Structure 1
Amino acid sequence: MAPSVKPISSPVPDAWYPTLALFMLAIGLMVTASFFIYEATSSRRNRSLAKELTTGAVASVFLGFGSLFLLIASGVYV
């Protein structure tokens, strides 16, 4: 006999998808805005590559997961 198989389920409840999409996209857009403000207001000599890469990576992660949750919340299963 084969062992009982559990169905695949999301670690996040389906009702949270729109809320997660909204918060993650909002955070991602705020981090992106701070990145643009940092780039526009700092001189070339005062810029830090580590800060730019970290800010870009954080914004990318939040915007990526926010877009994913937005697509899933709207019915596009990816």
Structure 2
Amino acid sequence: MAPKPITSPVPVEWYPSLAVVMLSVGLMVTASFFIYEATSSRKSRSLPREIATAAVASVFLGFGSLFVLLATGVYV
């Protein structure tokens, strides 16, 4: 029984589109985080909301960066 080659679960043609979409969403969430921090008073801020927003932005920017590298041929 011959082993199967490892293949990507995402088609290679989707890499550039996924990179643009994920980086765009990540940057928008990051911008909303900064706007929230700049416009809310120190006493009205919510730590769970800040952590959730930062986590979502981090995930999208991380995967967006990964797909940028994959789209340019840097296989990580």
Q: Is TM more than 0.5 here?
A: yes
Please give the alpha-carbon distance, in whole angstroms, between the structure 1 residues aligned to 2:51 and 2:6: 35
Say whether 1:72 aligns with 2:73: no
Residue 12 of structure 2 aligns with which residue? 14
Residue 57 of structure 1 aligns with which residue? 55
* Equivalent residue for 2:40, pick from 42, 45, 53: 42
Q: Structure 2 unaligned runs (5+)?
A: none
Please give the alpha-carbon distance, in whole angstroms, between the structure 1 residues aligned to 2:72 and 2:38: 35
Quick one: which amino acid aligns to residue 66 of structure 2?
L
Quick one: which amino acid aligns to residue 59 of structure 2?
V
Q: Structure 1 unaligned runs (5+)?
A: none
Q: CA deviation at 1:46?
A: 0.4
* Equivalent residue for 1:30, pick from 21, 28, 41: 28
Q: From the CA coordinates, give the structure whose radius of gyration is larger.
A: 1
Q: CA deviation at 1:5?
A: 1.1
Q: Number of aligned pairs?
A: 76
Q: CA deviation at 1:45?
A: 0.5
CA RMSD of aligned residues (A): 0.5
